[in-house]
Chains A and B, each alone.
Chain A
Amino acid sequence: MTRSMTRPMKVVAAMSGGVDSAVAAARAAEAGHDVTGIHLALSRNPQSHRTGARGCCTIEDANDARRAADVIGIPFYVWDLSERFHDDVVEDFRTEYLAGRTPNPCLRCNEKIKFAAVLDRARALGYDAVATGHYARLETAPDGTVEMHRAEDAAKDQSYVLGVLTQQQLAHSMFPLGDSPKSLVRREAAARGLLVAEKPDSHDICFVADGDTAGWLHDKLGTAPGTFVDHESGDVLGTHDGAFTYTVGQRRGLRLGRPAADGRPRYVLDIEPVSGTVTVGPREALTVDRLEGISARWCGTPPTSTLDCTVQLRAHGEEHRAVITVDGDRVDVDLLDPAQGIAPGQSAVVYDGTRVVGSCTITATSRVPAA
C-alpha cells in the first residue's frame, strides 16, 4: 500500500506548470488531502515563455501552474526561492564545472530546494508533506521506515535524482505518480480538463534556457585557454577556451585537427582544472570499475561495511552490479559491470533491487589493472 493514502494530511504540491506535477497535485487532492499548490519562482529574471522542451520557470509556466490549480480547485501561491536556488544550485553548478567536475543540478535542487527549503518552509507553516510529480514510489516498511523504490514506468523513473533524500525528507514526501505510466498521466490530465495535458516534457537544465550549457559556462566563467593532451604520448593535440566546458566521456565538439594514429575517435578522459589540461584518448580508456565517492546520503539506515547492490551513475543510465564499502561519509564502489565515461561530480545512486539505498558524489574513478 502506498503511504500517501493512509491519512488526510496538509500537503504542499510543488507545481512547475507541467503535466506531471499538475496530475500529482490533483491526485493528492482527490485522495482527500488538504492541498495547496505552490509554484517555485527560481529565477529572478524569468523569461516570458519557454520554447519547446527547454527550461521551465517562465512566467508562462507559472500561469500554467495557476490554471491547473484553478481546475483542480486548490489554492495557489508563488514562492520566491530564486536566491536559494541561485546560491545552492546555480552557483554549485558553476563552481563544480570550474573545478573540472560534472554535477547534476536536478539532484542538487531536490536535495537543497524542493525537499529542504520548500519542505522546511511548508513544515513550519503547518504542512505535513510536499508532493511532487516525480516518478518514484514510496512504501512504508513493516518497521515504519519509508522506502523509496523505482517507478513502475521504467522509462520515466526519476528515483535517481531523488537518491539524495534522507529518511526525514522521505517521511514528508509524496510522489503520487510512482505507480503510473506517463501515457496514463497524460490521458488523466486530459480527462481532468488540465490544459497542460499536451505540454512537452522539460529536458535539459532549467536555468540554461537555450540548452547551450557550454555557452552558459563561457558566459559565467569567461575563457581560460588550455590544451588537449594525448593520454599515452602526452603530445599536445590542440587548444581550447576553457576546460570547464568539457565533460569526461565527451567525444563531440573537441575539434582536434589531427586524427588519432589509429583513426578512431577520441574522448575526454580527464580534466585538470588548474592547468586547464584536457586529456583525451580512445574509448576503452574510459572504462572504469572502481569509483570513490563522498557526501554519502542514505534514504534509511546506512549500510554497514559492504553491500552487494546495483548502482546507477547518471540520470536514465543503466544499472551496474556493484559492491560498495561504506566508511562514514565515504563510499568505495567496485563495479562488477564496468562503466564508461564516468566523471567526478556525477552521483552514484545505490539500489537494492528496486529500492533506493542512497547516493554519493563521485570524486575519483579508476580501472583495476587486469590481473
Chain B
Amino acid sequence: MTHTVDAAARRIAYLDHAATTPMVPEAVEAMTALLSTTGNANSLHGSGREARRVVEESRERIAASIGARPGEVVFTSGGTESDNLAVKGLFWDRRAQDPERMRVLSTGVEHHAVLDPLTWLEDEGGAEVELLPVDAQGALVVDALADSIARAPATVGLVTVMWANNEVGTLQPVEDVVSLAHRYDIPVHTDAVQAVGAVPVDFAAGDLDALTLTAHKLGGPYGVGALVVRRDLSATPLLHGGGQERGIRAGTIDVPAIAGFAAAVELAVKRRTEHAERMAALRDDLVSRVLVEVPDARLNGNPVDRLPGNAHLSFPGCEGDSLLMLLDHRGIECSTGSACSAGVPQPSHVLLAMGRDEAVARSSLRFTLGHTSTAADVDALVEAIAPVVERARAAAR
C-alpha cells in the first residue's frame, strides 16, 4: 500500500520553470503525431526522406526563429551536450589549427555544463582556463575580459559567456564580449538556454560564433537541443559514428523530439514580447509582495537587466534547504538554485562568485515563472512565505 498523493490532484504552485517548463500543446501534438511513424532520417528510401523532411523543416524553423541559417543548427541531446561540444569541440579545433591558443576565457557564474568541461579541459587537455570576475549582481566585468584578452590575444582559443544566468537571472553583456573578442578573431560561444524565448536572441545580428539552446526550457521535450555554430567554424566532435549533423554530432536523429523542439522554439519566439511582459509583471509583483512579507529578504542579480521570469531572493538566517522543504509541503515548488555535488547541496557557486558569503549563498531561493504561471501561483507563495521563513529561521538557530 502506498500513500502517494497524485501531484496533479494537489494544488501546486510550480515556480521552477527555469528547471523545466511544461510542454506547449503544439509541441506535444507535433511530437505525438510522429511517434507512430517510422523512418530513419538518414535512410535513402521514402520513409527516410519523409523523416529527413521533418528534420530539415524543423531546422529551418528553428534557424529562422533565432536569426541563424539552417546549416548552422546542429541537433544535440540538449544544453549540456551543446555546451560540452562548444567548449571542448571549439577548443580542440582551434588548438589543432594553432597550438598557441591554449587560453579559454569565461566567467565564474557559468552553468556547470560549461564550468565542468572547462575544468576537465584544464586537467586533461592542457587548457589554461581563466574565470573572469563578475560584479555584485553577477554581470561580467567587461574591463577584466578586455585586459585578459589584451595581455596575449593570440593565445586565446575561445571565449564562452552565458547569455543569461540560470540562477540569479542577470543578463550578460554578450554584445561587448563579442566585439572585444572579434577584434582579435577569437570565437565566442554563449549558453542561451535561459534566454531564448525570454529576451531577444539573434545569432547573426549578435555576430555570435556558437550558441546553445535546449527544448525543455521553452516548452519543448526533454532530451533535445541544438548547438548553433557558424558554418566556417568547425568543432571537433564528442561523438563519432554515422557522420550525422555535419559530422559534428553522430547518432540517429530523434525526429519526433526535433519536431516538438521546432514547434516550441517557434512559438516561444513568436510570443516572446507579450510573454516577457506578463512574466515581468508577475515577477515584479512576486518580489515586491515577498519583500513586504519578509522585509529583510534581498533580491539577487541585476534588478533591471534580468530574465523576466526570474526572482532570486536571499532570506537571511534561513537555510535554503529548509525553506524549499517547507514550501514543498505547501505545494509550492521552487529551487535553491544551487547544484548538488555528490548528493549534498552545495552553496551556489554563482552567489559565491558574486561575492556573497556561504551563509547568504545557502539562504537563497530561486522562483522562476513560465508560460503556465498565474497570479494565483504568486498569491500562494506570498501567503506562505512569512510563516515558512519564520520556521526556517527557528530551525537554523
Q: Using a CB–CB distance below 8 Å, which chain A residues touch chain B?
A: 29-30, 36, 41, 44-46, 59, 62, 71-75, 77-80, 82, 120-121, 124-126
Contact = CB atoms under 8 A, between A and B. Distances in A.
B29 to A, nearest CB: 31
A59 B325 contact: no
Given A30-B1, A125-B326, A46 B395 contact: no
B77 to A, nearest CB: 23
Contacts, number: 55
Contact of A124 (B321, B329, B394): B394
A343 B253 CA distance: 67
B206 interface: no
Given A46-B343, A125-B322, A75 B329 contact: yes
Contacts of A120: 395
Given A46-B342, A59-B342, A59-B343, A121 B2 contact: no
Nearest to A61: B343
Nearest to B392: A125
Contacts of A62: 343
B151 interface: no
B345 A73 contact: no
Contacts of A41: 343-344
Contacts of A45: 342
Interface in B333-365: 340, 342-345
A180 to B, nearest CB: 18
A258 B1 CA distance: 65
B93 interface: no
Contact of B395 (A72, A73, A78, A125): A125
B127 to A, nearest CB: 25
Contacts of A29: 3
Nearest to A39: B343
B: contact size bracket:
20 to 34
Interface in B98-130: none
B396 to A, nearest CB: 8
Contacts of A36: 325, 329
A258 B328 CA distance: 67
B391 interface: yes
A120 B397 CA distance: 10
A46 B321 CA distance: 19
Given A46-B343, A121-B322, 16 more contacts: A29-B3, A36-B325, A71-B2, A72-B3, A73-B2, A73-B4, A75-B328, A75-B329, A77-B325, A78-B343, A80-B345, A120-B395, A125-B322, A125-B325, A125-B326, A125-B395
A335 to B, nearest CB: 43
Nearest to B329: A75
Interface of B: 1-5, 321-322, 324-326, 328-329, 340, 342-345, 391-392, 394-397
A121 B391 CA distance: 10
B345 A124 contact: no
Contacts of B3: 29-30, 72-74
Contacts of A79: 321
A77 B321 CA distance: 9
Nearest to B324: A77
B195 to A, nearest CB: 31
Contacts of B344: 41, 44, 46, 78, 80, 82
Nearest to A58: B343
Contacts of A77: 321, 324-325
B326 A78 contact: no
6 contacts: A29-B3, A62-B343, A124-B391, A124-B394, A125-B391, A126-B326
Nearest to A120: B395
B345 A126 contact: no
A12 B231 CA distance: 56
A36 B322 CA distance: 13
Contacts of B340: 78
A310 B324 CA distance: 47
Nearest to A41: B344
B342 to A, nearest CB: 5
A62 B396 CA distance: 23
A126 B391 contact: yes
Given A72-B3, A73-B4, A77-B321, A121 B345 contact: no
A73 B1 CA distance: 9
Contacts of B2: 71-73
**Nearest 6 CB-CB pairs, A to B?**
A124-B395, A73-B2, A73-B4, A73-B3, A124-B394, A41-B344
B101 to A, nearest CB: 35
A71 B340 CA distance: 23
Contacts of A74: 3
A71 B3 CA distance: 9
A121 B325 CA distance: 12
Contacts of B391: 124-126
Nearest to A38: B325
Nearest to A127: B395
A73 to B, nearest CB: 4
A76 B366 CA distance: 20
Nearest to A42: B344
B10 to A, nearest CB: 12
Contacts of A73: 2-5
A85 to B, nearest CB: 12
B380 to A, nearest CB: 18
A124 B342 contact: no
Nearest to A192: B1
A30 B321 CA distance: 27
Given A75-B328, A79-B321, A121 B343 contact: no
A113 B373 CA distance: 40
